[in-house]
Structure formats: structure tokens, C-alpha cells
Chain A
């Protein structure tokens, strides 16, 4: 032995000889679960990851993480309808994390600092034609360029951006922002061929190895309204485009917008800004059935836009329209009541949805069109090999974010197709549901509210309505993230193990269970805030 009194006095730390891991019937295993925000993002952003980088704070790294999936953080931070925030588990705790606010902050930081994305891939020697310079086309062009392909973007518009420029008003998306983010793509070496519509795709594709079609849906749907000679009836898409491309259309003092989507809201709010004293949206159903997003409706309401629910326009004569009151039948369909009402209307703006102009597909073999949209496979390819399509011209939700997602997805499949491979999607992790979290560890932190432009300027100018967060508030907001389903190195498992059986591997390396000593109590699992550990039975 040694000089210590026998048996009564022991050497320190000698119990490491006693491997208590033998007691275990279950063992903890670290895993990554899919956070609901990531799952919900139509653009496939790794929201949680870039929020985590922003928390450090490491804004450029966070921005670059977004840019892996989406080339438009500053645009997204203004126009995305935020499905991530709807899905956010924090919404069940207090309020959802302001993901969009942080994204906008990062996007604006990038513009401010002139961050760019280098193209590091070896040139593939392949050329891809992208038809349509909207969000889907630009997204595809961006990703294809990064993958080493040479991309040409063709568009009928005089400037790139598609609906982002010609559909979304400036007060929601300032044009300097739009230009900056598109300019960054152009600077990566994408060729733009603007002001000339592609009418014969087969012809246009000559010299290209593949094509991505994303021509959007720019044709306003018309409805038959019995109207007198003097009635001024316009469509919303044209109004918004004219505003951008030529001059402000004359709408008059009393403007009626017919429809219930986001475009209807944009048209009514634009009318206010163009001097209408009275902008009324006429919609045939009720609020809960209206397709427009809450934020659009409430902002319109703040700006004085009125909405006539359960109403249809019966006819328009001179400066007056007659609306008929409707009621919903048991199936939720509006039925006429025979009650009428008159409204002053110098103009009626129709916002009844848009259709895609698919004339360029004429004669292209194999392409199928159904209900006005092009059918594509899971790899975004049309029936014609090498011709892919996305955005508003394929069946899906028509939002900028969905379109950006299409562009990315199509780019990956085009890349695979060009290389003679098939794209294989990464396996999806199980979703990190709220009940897997231990929310005790998150301190209470209500969401940050973005500043809003003062009302007087909102209704007289096209200045941006919603402001961004400053660095302090953006950081705060990023740090509200719960990191659902993924280890964020909070050290809880390391700290709460009564047996010292969790090994801390160092920054970024997370932890590992020391199975020599882990007794399998499960405290680490129970106390993991993020639900990133699970117990699995020991195999005997």
C-alpha cells in the first residue's frame, strides 16, 4: 500500500475504478431534430442555424448561412409571410421569435457592408437559360451560378425582379433594397437579357443545356361586371405595374377594389397613397375566409382602407357602383340576398387573382398544363427533359418565398440532371415538437416590435412602412430562439449529471456520454431545454 492509514484513509478520486455504467438499462443518445421553423420555411432556410450564429453575435456568418439557401435576406425580411413564425414553438410559450426581423437586419447589414458571395465551384461548362427574372428565376440563377454553371436570365420586363418589382409596392419593399440584392446576383456573373419576352422556348434554348421557366402569373383575372360607359375598371396587377414602370395611374378620389387577396390590399393601400380619400375593398365572403394575410389587412385598416364584407359588385355606372349583400350558405359559399347598396367609385380595381402566360410553351413536346399551371415532377422538371419550371406558373402557393424555394430546388435538380445524376434529398430529422422541450430554462422574453412609419407619412408617401431592428434588438430577438431539437451547448446535460458522466468536448463540439459511468438516470434528457437527447434501451 502507501503511507496512508490502511483502509480508513483513501486516495482521492479512486472511485473511477468503479464503472457504474454497468447499472444502466437505458442510455442517453444525442440527436438533432428538425426545428419547426426550418420545416416550415418554403425557401428551405436553416433558420435555427443562422439565428444561432446571429446570437453569438456573428452576423456575417449568419447572413452567409441564409445565403446558402436564399439570396434575398433583405427582401425576405420585408415581404415573407413568415411561415416560420407561425410554426415557431416559442409562440406556445409567449410569442414567436421574430425570425423575419432578424433576417431583415442581417440582409440590411450585408448591403451596408457590401458582403458578397464568392463563386468557388469549378466551372461546369454547362449553360442554363432562366426565363423570368422574378424570385424563382433569380433564385435558380443564383444557385446554378454557385454550382458552377453559366446562367442567362431572360425577362420581358425592363428591369429584373418580376413581381417583387411590379407587384409589391415600394412601401413594403424599397427598390434600393431590391436592386442591391439582385445586383449582387448580377455581380456573380449572371447574364441578364431584359425587355424582350421569350415567345418560343425551343428557339431560345438553342445553345443552352437546360432551362428553368419561371414566368410568373402576371395576367389579372377579369370578372364580368355590367358597367356603363363612363365606368373606369382596371386590374390591380396593371395598376401596380404601371406605377412602377410608367406613371401613377389616375384612380380618382373614390376607389373600390374588388377582391380579397394580398394584391387587393396592396391596390387599396396604393390608392390611398395616390390621393384617394376613400379606398374600399369589396369582398364577397367574411374575414376568416379572406386569403389576404393578417398583417396586410390590419395595416390597410390602419391606413383607413375600409372593407365591405359579404358584398359583390352588381354593376357600375358612372361614379357609382351598386353592391349586393351576400350571406354564406351552409357550405360557406356566398349567396345573394337581394339587398343592394350604392357606393361612390371613381374607379374599380379588380384584384381577383392572376394567371400565368404560358404561350412560350407552344409546341414544346411533353409539357403538360393543367388548370392554367404547368405540371412538374418532384424534381421540378416538366414533361420535357431539361426543361424545369417553378414559381407562380406551377401549382403551389404564390409567394415570393415559395418561389425562391422553387428556384433553389430546381437549381439542385438541374445541377444533378446536368451532371447525369439524380438529386437525393437529405433525410429529414424527426420534428422537434413543443412537448419535447423543457421550456423552464428559457427566460421570459416577449417579442420585439418593429418600428412603424408615422401614419401621416404612410398614407401620403411610398416610404417603407415597417422599420428594421437595430443591432441590440435584433440580437435580443435572435436570442429568443429556443433551438428546438438541436443542441445549443447550454451545458445542462453536463451540469445536471449526478455521475459526472457527460464529457464536454469544447466549443462547437458538443458533448459525449461517458458510458463507463452513466447510470442511465435520464436527467440529462429530462433537463435538456431543446429536446436534443433521447433515451434508448440498452441492448443486452
Chain B
């Protein structure tokens, strides 16, 4: 059913269609509209049986999900930014215990300086947590990925993060085709846990494992991630058959077949990039765009295949590793190792800075000349602060200095 609605509402509706039995959440912008909507669905009786638990922290939110999932319930939570980091310990635990929790991350920057706006620093920081990470390009894809996420998580006994850009998607009103309950039920069978806390069949879950078996446990976890690389395309195909639209998968190319230059990115920026690519194509540039849906596990072969012929690959990232550079780009470089393509990292849209078509056009037509570029970096502002810092040891907090400079102050 086509509806014009806010992304958060759409995701909440989609999650509800998946019939979660326990939802535990702690509010944080920009995730709030999702969980608010779900609490209304539970309280109003539209989503039942379901327990909505208002917990006291994100750490508790995911911990309660761990308990609920271990007790055999389909379990959901959502968070963003600082909240995701506060969950960190529990993230590793959920994946280590093989609990198929599904979580929406409404992507947002991490402080300090505190910033509520969108980038991918939060989910990227958890790339080694053992969770599957799927990135939504649009609200429609966010809806559809959640349905697939539950199926994937439960099939593999692994937790799945569905990442959608905070505000840009969560708060955007768009046309969304919400699936019917029948469609979702047909796609997503009831949860059959691999292990469950059951007095009738007791087990001890969460043993301490020493050097004699820890490597094997970790290796088995890796194998399960690799198994996901097999299952994700199958699920996407099955989804397309059941719902009549393509969504998900590992990585998708847009006009990449004959492209010399391919820009690879994740999330909502892909829309802008496709527009820019269309325009540059009209200018005669052989350019394409690759949208990476599955970042963990990282689809090395699929990425290599999509990027195959390009001589120039630009990885546009909404996060980066300070002191090192691009996070996704490092993976792409290893995917393309030996094929001779130049891989450039462009860090863009941090902390909610708009990624404009103009800037992208400029970037893609003129450069990037450097392996690591920061899109629209205000060099004057940076230089000013560096001067200030060079003059005085106690030059004041950089973030506030920069804001003052921007406002034209002293």
C-alpha cells in the first residue's frame, strides 16, 4: 500500500509487521520517532503480543533484548550515535551468543563535540562487533531491509543492524509502499531459536571459554558471517519475488557497466550521487555509482565484480578513521587489490553537513587528486585554529573557537 509518510513511521510499521515479541528501547535523537511509534502500536493493541520495555539506558536496552532473544522471543531495538556506543559491550555479547536481535541505527555523528546530525561514525565504529550491517538508501529500502533483516538474523542466529541516515531518512516524508501483513507473514516464518532458555530443556548459555577453544569460537563466528554473504542475495531475490520490488542484496551498481569512474557509497547519499552521475553522463563522463547495502560481512567478491572495469574508484564515506583515513575505502582497496584501479577516499557529510551536487560535480570532474580528501573542508577555519593553537598552549576549545570564527568573531 502506497503511503506518504515519515521514514521513522514507515520503519515502525514495517517492524510491527514483522511481529516482534519484545521491544526494548531508550530514546535518542534521531531514533525517537521510530520507538515512539512502536510504543503507540503496542499500547494501542495493534502490535500484540508484544512487550514494550522502557529501559534506563541503551546498555540496558540491548541487554534486555539479549535476555528476551535468549528466551526465544523475536526482539527489536533501535538507537543511534552515543547510544550505540553505550551498547558496545552488549553488541559483542549478542553476536557472541548468536542472538538474532534486529536493531535500527538512525545514523548520527559521535561526540565530542556533541552533534545530533547524520553521518556514519556510529555504526562504522561497530564494524567488528559481529553484527551484520545493512545500509538503507531510501525509506522504502529501510522498510524492506527490516523485513529481510529479521529473516536473515533468525536464519543465521546472528544479530542484524539496519542503518538508515538520521533525519535525512528518519524524518523525511516520502512515498513508501508498505507491505501487507500477509506478504510479511509469508516471507518471515515464526522464530525458531537455535537455543532457548527453557526449564523443560535446560542449558547453560554464556560459558567462559579459554585459549583452548576461543579461536575456534571466533572462527565459527566468521564462518557464519561468510554464510550470510551467500544468504543475503537469496533473501533479496526471494523478497523481490514476494514483494515485487528489488531491494537489499550485497552491493548494487548504477550505470557501472561501462564506467571508468565509479563512486561507491552507503546510505541516502546514493540518491544525490546518482543524480550527479546522470548529469555527468550527459557531459560525456563514463561514470557509475555503486551502492553498498551490506557492509558486514564485507562482500569482497561482489564489490570487485561491480567495480570491475573502473580505473578510478571514489569511495565516498560518511565517517573515517582518524589518523588512518577511509574505513570503507580500506575494504574496497583490498577487494580491488592487484587490478590496478586508483582508489580515492572522499570523506563527506560529517555531522550533518550537506553533500551537495555542486560539490560532488566539482570533486568528480576535477579530482580527487589526493588519496584522501575532505569534501567542502573549510581550510580557512582550520588554518585559523591551527594558528591559534600554535600561538598559545591554552588556546581554548577548538569546537567553540571554530563556531566563533564562523560567526565572524575575534
The one of B157, B194, B195, B216 that contacts A7, using a Cβ cutoff of 8 Å: B216
Bound Cα distance A485, B98 (Å): 56
Determine if B217 is an interface residue (Cβ-Cβ < 8 Å): yes
B186 interface hit (Cβ, 8 Å): no
Docked-complex contact A8 and B97, CB < 8 angstroms: yes
List residues of chain A with CB under 8 Å of any chain B CB.
Answer: 3-12
Chain A residue numbers with a CB within 8 Å of B207 are: 7-10
Quick check: A9 and B205 within 8 Å, CB to CB? yes
Q: How far is the CB of B225 from chain A (nearest CB, A)?
A: 15
**Do the beta carbons of A11 and B203 come within 8 Å of each other?**
yes
Contact residues in B for A11 (Cβ distance below 8 Å): 203-204
Q: Are the CB atoms of B203 and A7 closer together than 8 Å?
A: no
The answer to whether B217 touches A6, judged by C-beta atoms less than 8 angstroms apart, is: yes
User: Which chain B residues in 137-174 approach chain A with CB under 8 Å?
Assistant: 157
| Distance to closest chain B CB from A188 (angstroms) | 63
A8:B217 contact, CB within 8 angstroms: yes
- Establish whether residues A4 and B220, one from each chain, have CB atoms under 8 Å apart when the complex forms: no
Instruction: Please determine whether A9 and B204 come into contact, CB atoms closer than 8 angstroms.
Output: yes
Q: Are A10 and B220 in contact (CB under 8 A)?
A: no
A188→B97 CA distance, assembly (Å):
79
Q: List 30 A-B contacts (CB under 8 A).
A: A3-B194, A4-B195, A5-B97, A5-B98, A5-B157, A5-B194, A6-B216, A6-B220, A7-B207, A7-B209, A7-B213, A7-B216, A7-B217, A8-B96, A8-B97, A8-B98, A8-B206, A8-B207, A8-B209, A9-B195, A9-B204, A9-B205, A9-B206, A9-B207, A10-B203, A10-B207, A11-B203, A12-B202, A12-B203, A12-B204
Asked if A9 and B209 make an inter-chain contact with CB atoms under 8 angstroms apart, the answer reads no
- Closest-by-CB residue of A relative to B213 is A7
Q: B143: shortest Cβ distance to chain A, in Å?
A: 31
Chain B residue contacts of A10, Cβ below 8 A: 203-204, 207
**B202 touching A8, Cβ below 8 Å:** no
Residues of A within 8 A of B202 (CB): 12
State the CA gap A357–B202 with chains docked (Å): 83
Contacts of A6 in B (CB 8 A): 213, 216-217, 220
Chain B: residues with Cβ within 8 Å of the partner, total of: 18
With A8-B209, A10-B207 known, 20 other A-B pairs at CB within 8 A are A3-B194, A4-B203, A5-B97, A6-B216, A6-B217, A6-B220, A7-B214, A7-B217, A8-B96, A8-B97, A8-B206, A8-B207, A9-B195, A9-B203, A9-B205, A9-B206, A10-B203, A10-B204, A12-B202, A12-B203
Q: Measured between C-beta atoms, what is the minimum distance from A2 to chain B in Å?
A: 10
Q: Which residues of B contact A9 (CB under 8 A)?
A: 195, 203-207
Least CB distance, B219 to chain A, in whole angstroms = 10
Instruction: List, in ascending order, chain B residues with CB within 8 A of A5's CB.
Output: 97-98, 157, 194-195
Measured between beta carbons, the chain B residues less than 8 angstroms from A12 are 202-204
CA gap between A5 and B217 in the complex, in Å: 9
Scan B180-221; emit 1 where CB is below 8 A from any A CB, else 0. 000000000000001100000011111101000110110010
Q: Which B residues are CB-close (under 8 A) to A7?
A: 207, 209, 213-214, 216-217
Distance in angstroms from A5 CB to nearest chain B CB is: 5
Give, as a whole number of angstroms, the nearest-CB distance from B105 to chain A: 25
Docked CA distance A6–B213 (Å) = 9
The winner among B98, B157, B214 for most chain A CB atoms within 10 A is: B98
Q: Of A3, A4, A9, A11, which is in contact with the most chain B CB atoms at under 10 Å from its CB?
A: A9
A11 to B207, CA, bound (A): 10
Closest CB in chain B relative to A1 CB, distance in Å: 11
A286 → B minimal CB distance (Å): 76
User: How many Å lie between the Cα of A5 and that of B195 in the bound state?
Assistant: 8
B147 to chain A, nearest CB (A): 26
Q: How far is the CB of A7 from chain B (nearest CB, A)?
A: 5
* Cβ-closest chain A residue relative to B96: A8
A4 to B196, CA, bound (A): 10
* Residues of A with C-beta under 8 A to B206: 8-9
Q: In the complex, A12 Cα to B205 Cα: how many Å?
A: 10
- Which residues on the A side are within 8 Å of B204 (C-beta)? 9-12
CB-CB nearest in chain A for B217: A7
Q: List, in ascending order, chain B residues with CB within 8 A of A8's CB.
A: 96-98, 205-207, 209, 217
Which has the most chain B C-beta neighbours within 10 Å: A4, A5, A11, A12?
A5
A5 and B202 alpha carbons, distance in the complex (Å): 14
Q: A380–B207 Cα gap in the complex (Å)?
A: 72
**Closest CB of chain A to B218's CB: distance in Å?**
10
Separation of A8 and B204 alpha carbons in the complex (Å): 8
A10–B207 CA distance with the chains assembled, in angstroms: 7
Collect the chain A residues with CB atoms within 8 Å of residue B205's CB: 8-9
Q: Could you tell me the distance between the alpha carbons of A9 and B201 in the complex, rounded to whole angstroms?
A: 13
Query: Closest residue to A15 on the B side, CB-wise?
Result: B204
**Residue of B with least CB distance to A10:** B204
- In the bound assembly, the distance between CA atoms of A9 and B99 in angstroms comes to 12
Cβ contacts under 8 Å, B96 to chain A: 8
Within 8 A of A (CB), among B14-68: none
Across the A-B interface, give the 7 residue pairs with the lowest CB-CB distance, nearest first.
A10-B204, A7-B213, A7-B209, A12-B202, A9-B205, A10-B207, A7-B217
Complex-state Cα separation, A363 to B406, whole angstroms = 139
Tell me, rounded to whole Å, the shortest Cβ–Cβ distance linking A4 to chain B: 6
Q: How far is the CA of A9 from the CA of B203 in the complex (A)?
A: 7
Chain A neighbourhood of B214, CB < 8 A: 7
Chain B contacts of A4 at CB under 8 A? 195, 203
Give Cα A85–Cα B216 distance, bound, in whole angstroms: 70
User: B residues 211-236 with Cβ under 8 Å of A?
Assistant: 213-214, 216-217, 220
Chain A nearest Cβ from B404, distance in angstroms: 53
Residues of chain A within 8 A (CB-CB) of B220 are 6
Q: Which interface residue of A8, A9, A11, A12 has the most chain B CB atoms within 10 A?
A: A8
- In the bound complex, residues from chain A placing their C-beta under 8 Å from that of B217 are 6-8
In the complex, residue of chain B having the shortest beta-carbon distance to the beta carbon of A5: B98
Quote the shortest CB–CB distance from B198 to chain A (angstroms).
12
List residues of chain A with CB within 8 A of the CB of B97.
5, 8
CB B70 to nearest CB in A, in angstroms, measures 10
Chain A residues, Cβ within 8 Å of B194: 3, 5
How many Å lie between the Cα of A5 and that of B218 in the bound state? 12
Nearest A residue (CB) for B220: A6
A7–B96 alpha-carbon span in the complex (Å):
11
Q: Determine the distance from Cα of A11 to Cα of B194 in the docked complex, in whole angstroms.
A: 14
Chain B residue numbers with a CB within 8 Å of A3 are 194
**B257–chain A nearest beta-carbon distance, Å:** 43
Chain B's nearest CB lies how many Å from the CB of A285? 78
Q: Which residue of B lies closest to A11 (CB)?
A: B203
A7 to B216, CA, bound (A): 9
Q: Could you tell me the distance between the alpha carbons of A46 and B96 in the complex, rounded to whole angstroms?
A: 65
Q: How far is the CB of B209 from chain A (nearest CB, A)?
A: 5
Cα-based distance from A12 to B207 in the complex (angstroms)? 11
Q: How far is the CA of A11 from the CA of B205 in the complex (A)?
A: 9
Cβ proximity bits B79-98 to A, threshold 8 Å, 1 near / 0 not: 00000000000000000111
Smallest CB separation, A352 vs chain B (Å) = 82
Q: Least Cβ distance of B130 to chain A in Å?
A: 12
Min C-beta distance of B29 to chain A, whole Å: 35
A8 to chain B, nearest CB (A): 6
Q: What CA separation (Å) do A9 and B205 show in the bound complex?
A: 4
CA distance A53 to B151 in the complex (A): 69
Q: Whole-angstrom distance between the alpha carbons of A9 and B194 in the complex?
A: 11
Chain A residue at minimal CB-CB distance from B204 = A10
* B85: min CB distance to chain A, Å: 24
Q: Mark contacts of B328-358 with chain A using CB atoms, 8 A cut-off: 1 yes-contact digit, 0 otherwise.
A: 0000000000000000000000000000000
With both chains docked as a complex, state the minimum distance between the C-beta of B28 and any C-beta of chain A, in angstroms. 30
Whole-angstrom distance between the alpha carbons of A503 and B263 in the complex?
73
- By a CB distance below 8 angstroms, the chain A residues around B216 are 6-7
Q: Which residues of A contact B209 (CB under 8 A)?
A: 7-8
In the complex, what's the smallest C-beta–C-beta distance from B202 to chain A, in angstroms?
Answer: 5
| Cα separation A5 to B97 with both chains bound (whole Å) | 8
What 1/0 flags go to B249-275 for Cβ under 8 Å of A?
Answer: 000000000000000000000000000
Nearest chain A CB to B154 CB, angstrom units: 14
Compute how far the CA of A10 lies from the CA of B40 in the bound complex, rounded to whole angstroms: 40
Give Cα A113 to B204, complex, Å.
60
